[in-house]
Structure 1
């Protein structure tokens, strides 16, 4: 999930024009005597050079004798490089990790427990990023920035259907989709929603109070077949049957093309897609807009992607690493990142975001994350949830039948010895 949230952004130009402010002291003095290098590994297309220069200048002014050395990694192949580095005697001090990456490295002992440390805006961190950085109720990854899905629509196609105002509820979303289909006919989808699109479908079960699974001690119990979860998945199934002509066995890989080609009036996509679709199709640049995915009452809970900042357990510069992360994740630099289009890590910073980033922030007010089990990747790799959704979308199983089968699979995988 996380790489796709960051790879396609081009934020350097957006923030290169942000003026570098005067430096101010942060944290305490370096604990080590003599020159020290703080090694920071960040991922491609996260913090732009202008922001890194500023944060490092401020940090180094507050820590005489310390030099920050930043290395930028590609998302592809990151696991191999992280595992090798964390197992060595000289790991990097600070590592940016995708929020779906943190759990495994925390469980393996490769990361420092940051639970006792204090961070600015900690009480208002985006819930999905907080959960992504936590393992067994301990903090290992500090929320860095986020990204979520929104409804992206074409204003020209909406105008032909007589639509002007974005819907605020799920019922209104269905009505808008039905009007779009009536206006354009044929195989046109009011909202193009492939059957295997799990990260857009699962919010429906959270919208009605459901969850994928819950933990009691060392035991996980899948909860897809609870009344709350079934109610949400029923809402999803009824919506896509009414307004989508997408295949039940397809995923989200071609959403941008379907919208650009005029085969749908709406998609649920990651916010950066607004810019990428407009860039690839200049004639549509002024015709694209977005709004939070509406739920039964207000915005629907979204799966929150993004990144967290971690400290290597074997880092010899623990306090310096903490000070650098504290600075980067505080109000000052989160504001600069927000001005470049990234979603800041705290709801308290909603006032500094505009445009598509403001829409993301509104949506992120209700967010969720996958079960924090070190075996969750087994569920993901087995495609349990996508198979469940496809069987419902295709009419091969009822919601009750599909969720019961998925619960059995999840229980076996999460509780395997």
Structure 2
């Protein structure tokens, strides 16, 4: 892994030491053998990055030992709940950004709004939103991951195409040339199955629409608003022009469509570019990536990833916040970016390259699902996917499908309990 030059690390370390020394005193004054318990998830930050951070933290706090535990993602919720209720609760937890809301709304996390975190003014919006509840910050953005267009350079060149498109109109024109060069009836210039919600909803956000909003404690679905309908119409028109993927399928087979030559492009998480090359070695160096273009620059992307939280049960909350401040600051976020994770700030572009650089550029316009504790009910009911399929299959107009989806979303988000 490429590393930040030693001189840069030294400079950043001095800056961080200064800010840490100016921090408020911990709730419990650390003495000999004080332990800070940190739980991170598997395949999070590289081990050497965390080891370096802990060494620096120990320099700042000589009487504090960091006890690190790495958890598997499956079964995490049971481990977190048991840990928070134990006699020795964790002080720092890494949570998937979709996990934070339930714990924050349940009063199990420490409000970190008053804390000062480096680069907070340029945090990725999707991660900031995922870590927030009722206007308060509970989960500090850690790292992200988003979807980009992954394309086959060989098919691109065979169609006589040059640089990746910068606008949606250019992408449609490129898709037309790819289709003309590949006349097979099952070929998609861009494989875009009907039920692919995380690639379809960005059209809604790009048009200025929204999924659902909350006012005075009540949620109102917004898919049949004029701007949202404009986005859905653009999505439907685009898919009809560029894709021959089934209307009743999701994105789970898109890598196979790309690898088998049935598609020249897919929209998928950046990490799947290397996964596709590994599964289809013949692709070799033939895969490239670019942000999905929208009306004005890259289209908004749904942002996955992780946030760092301090459980309410922590006995070292201030120390925990200081540890998080280090890990989420420029020095270590830069190292995370160099390791292939998308750093938490749009201001860290100099630390990333390749696919990660494209992901970070795309994440400059990022979004997250509506911040309702009942959004999982919408997901579990497949409301968005069913709406998209009905449009793509021609079973309902855009307005009809959006209206039916809004009715269901309103019902689920405002259900009692």
User: TM-score, normalised to structure 2's length?
Assistant: 0.94
Q: What aligned pairs does 1:9-408 form with structure 2 within 5 A after superposition?
A: 14=1, 24=14, 25=17, 27-28=20-21, 31-186=29-184, 187-408=186-407
Deviates more, 1:343-352 or 1:43-52: 343-352
TM superposition shift of 1:37: 1.2
Post-superposition shift, 1:19? 7.6
Q: Is the 8 A contact 2:30 2:63 kept in 1?
A: no
CA deviation vs aligned residue, 1:27-60 (integer Å, no higher than 9, x gap): 2476222211111111111100110110000001
In the alignment, the residues of structure 2 paired with residue 45 and residue 339 of structure 1 have an alpha-carbon distance, to the nearest angstrom, of 15
* Paired residues of 1:214 and 1:223 also in contact (CA < 8 A): yes
1:312-368 Cα shifts (integer Å, max 9, x gaps): 101000111000000000000011111111111111112222111111111111111
Q: Secondary structure at the match of 2:246?
A: coil
Counterpart Cα distance in 2 of 1:318 and 1:145: 21
With 24-33 and 37-46 compared, the bigger mean Cα shift is at 24-33
Measured in 2, the distance between the counterparts of 1:245 and 1:78 equals 39
Write the deviation string for residues 55-114 of structure 1: whole angstroms up to 9, x where unpaired.
000001110111111111111111111122123332111000011110001011111110
Does the CA contact (< 8 Å) of 1:230 and 1:399 recur in 2? yes
In structure 1, C-alpha distance between the alignment counterparts of 2:88 and 2:406, rounded to whole Å: 43
Superposition deviation, residue 296 in structure 1: 1.9
Query: RMSD in angstroms over aligned alpha carbons?
Result: 1.4
TM-score by length of 1: 0.94
State whether residues 89 and 314 of structure 1, in contact with CA within 8 Å, keep that contact through their aligned partners in structure 2.
no
Gaps of 5+ in 2: none
Structure 1 unaligned regions, length at least 5: 1-13
Aligned residues: 403
State the distance in 2 between where 1:244 and 1:280 align.
23
Deviation per residue, 1:93-150 (Å, 9 max, x gap): 1000011110001011111110111100111111110000000000000000111100
SS of the residue corresponding to residue 309 of structure 1 reads: strand
